[in-house]
Amino acid sequence: MTNPLLTTWETPFGLPPFDQISDDDYGPAVDAALDEAKANIDAITAEPEVTFANTCEAMERATATLDRVLSAFYTVSGTDANPQRDALRREFAPKLSAFWSGVTANRALFDRFEDLWSRKDELGLDAEQARLLYLSRRGFVRSGAQLAGAEAARMAEVKSRQSVLSTQFSQNLLADERDWFMPLAEEDLVGLPDFVVDAARSAGEEKDAGGPVVTLSRSLIVPFLQFSPRRELRRKAYEAWTARGANGGETDNRAIATEILALRSERAKLLGYQDFAHYQLETEMAKTPEAVRGLLMDVWAPARAAAEADAERLTEMLAADGITGPLEAWDWRYYAEKRRKAEHDLDEAQVKPYFALDKMIDAAFACATRLFGLEFAPTDGPTYHPDVRLWEVTRNGEHVALFMGDYFARGSKRSGAWCSAMRSQSAMDGSVRPIVMNVCNFAKPPAGKPALLSYDDARTLFHEFGHALHQMLSDVRYESMSGTSVARDFVELPSQLYEHWLEVPAVLAEFAVNAEGEPMPKDLLDKVLGAATFDMGFATVEYVASALVDLEFHLGEPPADPMQKQAEVLEAIGMPRAIRMRHATPHFAHVFSSDGYASAYYSYMWSEVMDADAFAAFEETGDPFDPATAKALEANILSVGGTQEADVLYTAFRGRLPGVEALLKGRGLLNVA
C-alpha cells in the first residue's frame, strides 16, 4: 500500500492526513525521504556549473519531503507520545544526525558554496539572496565543513552521540512527569478552590486513579502549591516536581547532562572556539558571554533584594501560623498567595472564572484583528488528537495561514508550551502559506465545565500566539529565513511583546467575562492590573538563576559534576534559600533537549528588554492599537524573518536599541536597592 506520508496530501490546507497515518508508516517514510534528500544533494554536486540557483536555491528544496514527514512525526510524538513513537525518536536521532553530518562533510557541496562566496560581488544578488548565501555558508562552517580527516570524523561522532542523549533526556523527563501522581483524599481537598478540585478530579480520571490526584503538570501543581493548606502534601508534591530527571534508575538525567556538556565543549574546540558559550553566542544579538552576564547581573541585584524582602514578610506569615523553622520552597507560593489576597485584596480563585480559555483565545484573535487586520474562522481538517482545534486565518479575504490550537495537558504530551510551524511560509516556488500550531498544557476541566485559566496561563496563551503571528505574517522568499528563523535572543521579542495586549484594560473589559457573560468588575480589574508585578522578585530570581547556571555550564571547561557546579553558581550569587531555580539541571529541557537554548536561556530576558521598549512605542502614541505603529512592527519585524540581523531590524522599527531600564520598570524593580 502507498505510504500516506509520501503522497500528495489532498487535505484541507495541505494538513498531514493524520486520519490515514499509522505509527508503522513513519519509519519507512523517513528512510525514503532520506534517500530522496541524498539523491537531491548528489544531483546538486553533479552540476558542472556553479550557480546561485542550482546550489543555494536547490539546497532549499533538497530536504522538502524529509521536512514534511518529520514535521508530522515530531508533532505527534511531542504532543501524544506512546512507546512506539518514543522508540522511533530514538531510532531517528542517529540517522538524522548522520545525514546532516554527511551534508556538512560533503566537500564537493561545500566547495560550491565557497565558490559562490568568493564571487558574491559579481553574482548580482539581491539583498535576500545575499543573505541566504551568507547564512548557508556560515551554517556549513559552524557545523564543521572546514574540518578534515580525524577531526571531521570525530565531529560526526560527537553530533550523533549528542542527538541520542538529547532524545533520551526528553523521554526520561516525560516519563517522570507521566508516571508520578499523588492521590488526594476528600479531606485533602479542603481549602482548594473549585477550579483546582475540578482539575484534580479530571487528572484522576485520566490516570484511572479512582479519585482526584495532583500530577506534575504545571497548570495543576502550581495552583495546588498556591492553595493547599496541607504543608506536608505541598512538600511531597514540590519535591516530586523538582526531582524530575533525578530519581535514579533508567530515567535519571544527571549523567546524560554531564556527557552532553562535555560533547558540546569538544565540538566548540574542534571548531576553534575556547568553549561552547563563545561558539553559541557568536551569532546572537548578545555576541559575547560578558554581555549576557552583564544583563543578568544588572537584573539579579534588584531582583534578589526584592525577593529577600518578600521572604521576610512570608516568614512572618509562616510563624503566625504556628510553624517553627525557616520558610521553605514549598511554602513560598502558598504564603505569597495569602499575601496577595491580604495586600491587594486579590484572590486567584475569584479572578479565574473571568479567564475562560475560549474567551482568551477570542481576545488573542481580536487583538490580531485590530493590529494586523487578520480574521479567524473555525474550520475542519484531519488532526492527531480530538482536543486539537483549527482556524483559517485570512486578511482582506485572502488566505494567510492555518492555525492549530492544542491546549490541554495529557500524560502523553511533553510539558511546557510552544509554537511550531508544521509548514513554514515561503515564496521561492510560488506562495506557500504556513500551518502554525500553539501547544499548551492547561488543566482540562471535567466534561460540561468551561476551561478556566489563571492570569499566568492567559499570558502563556498570548505569548505563544505572539510566536504564531511571527510565523503567520512572514513574507519572505526562502523558507530557511522565514517566520521565527531569527537569532535566539530575538525570537522571544514578538511573543513577549504580545503579552502586553492582555494587560490593556479595554481588552480585559471585553473578554475577561464570567460564564454568565458578565465582565470582571472594575475594582477587581484594577486589582489584577495593580498586582501585575506582585511577587516579581521571586519570578525574576528563579529565572535569572537558571540563566546564570546555564551560562556558567558552557563557559570554560565542562563541569565533571553539573549538580556541584549548579550549587557553586547559586552560592556565588547568593540564591535565597527558599527559592529554587525555575529549571534545575536534571529537568532543564530548554538546555539539554536540544542545543537551541544552551548558553542562551538568557534569551527571554534579552528579548524582554526589547519587548518593554517596543510596547512603549504604542503607549507613546496614546493608543495600544495605533495603526501606524502596528504597520511598522509588521513591516520591520514580524514579516521579515531572518532576512537581516536582529539589531538592524529592531533599530528600523524603533530608531535605536533599548536599555535595561524599561525591563526593570516593567517588572517593578527599577528603584529596588
CA angle 430, 436, 437 (to 5 degrees): 165
Examine residue 106 and state whether it is found in any structural domain, yes or no. yes
* Measured CA distances, 117 to 53, 111, 428, 643 (Å): 14, 10, 21, 17
* Residue range 610-669, pLDDT digits in tens: 999 999 999 999 999 999 999 999 999 999 999 999 999 999 999 999 988 888 888 889
* Residue range 140-151, pLDDT digits in tens: 999 999 999 999
Residue 288 scores a pLDDT above 90: yes
Q: From the CB of residue 290, how many other CB atoms can be counted at a distance below 10 Å?
A: 10
pLDDT of residue 348: 83
Query: What CA–CA distance (Å, rounded) separates 39 from 130?
Result: 26
Are the C-beta atoms of residues 296 and 548 closer than 8 Å to each other? Answer: yes
Query: What CA–CA distance (Å, rounded) separates 480 from 478?
Result: 6
pLDDT of residue 666: 85
DSSP code of 449? S
Q: From the CB of residue 118, how many other CB atoms can be counted at a distance below 10 Å?
A: 9
Are residue 488 and residue 420 in the same domain, yes or no?
yes
Examine residue 168 and state whether it is found in any structural domain, yes or no. no
Examine residue 164 and state whether it is found in any structural domain, yes or no. no
The DSSP H or E segment spanning 183 is strand 181-183
Query: What CA–CA distance (Å, rounded) separates 205 from 303?
Result: 40
Domains in the chain, number:
4
pLDDT band with cut points at 50, 70 and 90 for residue 185: very high
Query: What CA–CA distance (Å, rounded) separates 34 from 24?
Result: 17
Query: What CA–CA distance (Å, rounded) separates 429 from 419?
Result: 25
Are the C-beta atoms of residues 586 and 252 closer than 8 Å to each other? Answer: yes
Instruction: Look up the domain containing 240 and give its range.
Output: 180-244
Which phi and psi (to 5°) does residue 559 adopt? Answer: -70, 140
pLDDT of residue 480: 98
For residue 8, give every residue at least 6 positions away whose Cβ sits within 8 Å of its Cβ, in sequence order, or none. Answer: none
Complete DSSP assignment for 69-127: HHHHHHHHHHHS--HHHHHHHHHHHHHHHHHHHHHHT-HHHHHHHHHHHHTGGGTT--H
Examine residue 264 and state whether it is found in any structural domain, yes or no. yes
Q: Tell which residue, 453, 492, 500, 449, has the closest CA to residue 603.
A: 492
Q: Tell which residue, 440, 455, 457, 450, has the closest CA to residue 389.
A: 440
| pLDDT (average), residues 470-493 | 97
DSSP code of 443? P
Predicted structure pTM score: 0.93
Longest dimension (CA), the chain: 83
461 is written with which cell numbers? 496563551
CATH of residue 367's domain is: 1.10.1370.40
Are residue 219 and residue 236 in the same domain, yes or no?
yes
Residues paired with residue 426 on neighbouring β-strands, in sequence order: 432
* Residue range 289-325, pLDDT digits in tens: 999 999 999 999 999 999 999 999 999 999 999 999 9
Output 344 or 35, whichever has higher pLDDT: 35
* Residue range 105-132, pLDDT digits in tens: 999 999 999 999 999 999 999 999 999 9
Examine residue 226 and state whether it is found in any structural domain, yes or no. yes
Mean pLDDT for the chain overall: 96
Examine residue 155 and state whether it is found in any structural domain, yes or no. no
Percent of the chain beyond pLDDT 70? 100
pLDDT of residue 192: 96
Examine residue 508 and state whether it is found in any structural domain, yes or no. no
Are residue 479 and residue 364 in the same domain, yes or no?
yes
Which phi and psi (to 5°) does residue 271 adopt? Answer: -90, 0
Query: What CA–CA distance (Å, rounded) separates 364 from 453?
Result: 14
What is the identity of the amino acid at 632?
A: A
Are residue 621 and residue 671 in the same domain, yes or no?
yes
CATH of residue 299's domain is: 1.10.1370.10
* Residue range 535-555, pLDDT digits in tens: 999 999 999 999 999 999 999
Are residue 352 and residue 336 in the same domain, yes or no?
no
Are the C-beta atoms of residues 3 and 17 closer than 8 Å to each other? Answer: no
Are the C-beta atoms of residues 173 and 327 closer than 8 Å to each other? Answer: no
Are residue 355 and residue 438 in the same domain, yes or no?
yes
The DSSP H or E segment spanning 418 is strand 418-423
Are residue 287 and residue 411 in the same domain, yes or no?
no
CATH of residue 98's domain is: 1.20.1050.40
Are residue 74 and residue 139 in the same domain, yes or no?
yes
Residue 673 scores a pLDDT above 60: no
Complete DSSP assignment for 349-384: HHHGGG-BHHHHHHHHHHHHHHHH--EEEEE----S
- Domain termination residue (choose one: 600, 628, 652): 600
Are residue 618 and residue 478 in the same domain, yes or no?
yes
For residue 248, give every residue at least 6 positions away whose Cβ sits within 8 Å of its Cβ, in sequence order, or none. Answer: none
Return the SS3 of 392.
strand
Are the C-beta atoms of residues 275 and 598 closer than 8 Å to each other? Answer: no
* Residue range 186-216, pLDDT digits in tens: 999 999 999 999 999 999 999 999 999 999 9
Examine residue 276 and state whether it is found in any structural domain, yes or no. yes
Are residue 292 and residue 374 in the same domain, yes or no?
no
Are the C-beta atoms of residues 309 and 670 closer than 8 Å to each other? Answer: no
pLDDT band with cut points at 50, 70 and 90 for residue 405: very high
Query: What CA–CA distance (Å, rounded) separates 370 from 366?
Result: 6
Query: What CA–CA distance (Å, rounded) separates 130 from 429?
Result: 18
The count of residues in the chain is: 673
Residue 161 scores a pLDDT above 90: yes
Q: Indicate which residue of 60, 128, 337, 464 is catalytic.
A: 464
- Domain termination residue (choose one: 581, 600, 619): 600
Residue 529 scores a pLDDT above 90: no
Residue 672 scores a pLDDT above 70: no
Query: What CA–CA distance (Å, rounded) separates 277 from 269?
Result: 11
Is 464 in the active site? yes
- Domain termination residue (choose one: 146, 165, 192): 146
Are residue 386 and residue 473 in the same domain, yes or no?
yes
* Residue range 573-590, pLDDT digits in tens: 999 999 999 999 999 999
Are residue 240 and residue 276 in the same domain, yes or no?
no
